Amino acid sequence: MPEKDPCQKQACAIQACLQANKYVEAMCVHVIHHMRECCRLHARHSGCCSGFKHTSKDLG
């Protein structure tokens, strides 16, 4: 059984937030921040982090 992606929960939270807020990224800064933190810690073990820029600068 494949190992669960450590950042999948955060990736799903981003999608849910964006959908709920008509894709206005500024409304989802908090969940994007959580994804960046997860990717900072788990980028080597998370497929969700590939292509996700995990810089220290948040939107807005």
> What are the pLDDT digits (tens) for 30-60?
999 999 999 999 988 899 998 776 554 444 3
Is the predicted pLDDT of residue 5 greater than 80, yes or no? Answer: yes
Which candidate, 52, 24, 47, 50, places its Cα nearest to that of 36? 52
Question: How confident is the model at residue 3, as a pLDDT?
Answer: 73
Q: What is d(CA 16, CA 57) in angstroms, rounded to the nearest whole number?
A: 22
Which two structure tokens, joined as six digits, stand for 14?
């981003």
Above pLDDT 90, what percent of the chain? 68
Q: Which amino acid is residue 49, in one-letter code?
A: C
Q: Yes or no: say if 46 and 5 are a contact pair by the CB < 8 Å rule.
A: yes
Burial of 19 (0-12, 13-18, 19+ CB in 10 A): exposed
Q: Provide the 3-class DSSP secondary structure of residue 43.
A: helix
Which pLDDT value is given to residue 59?
41
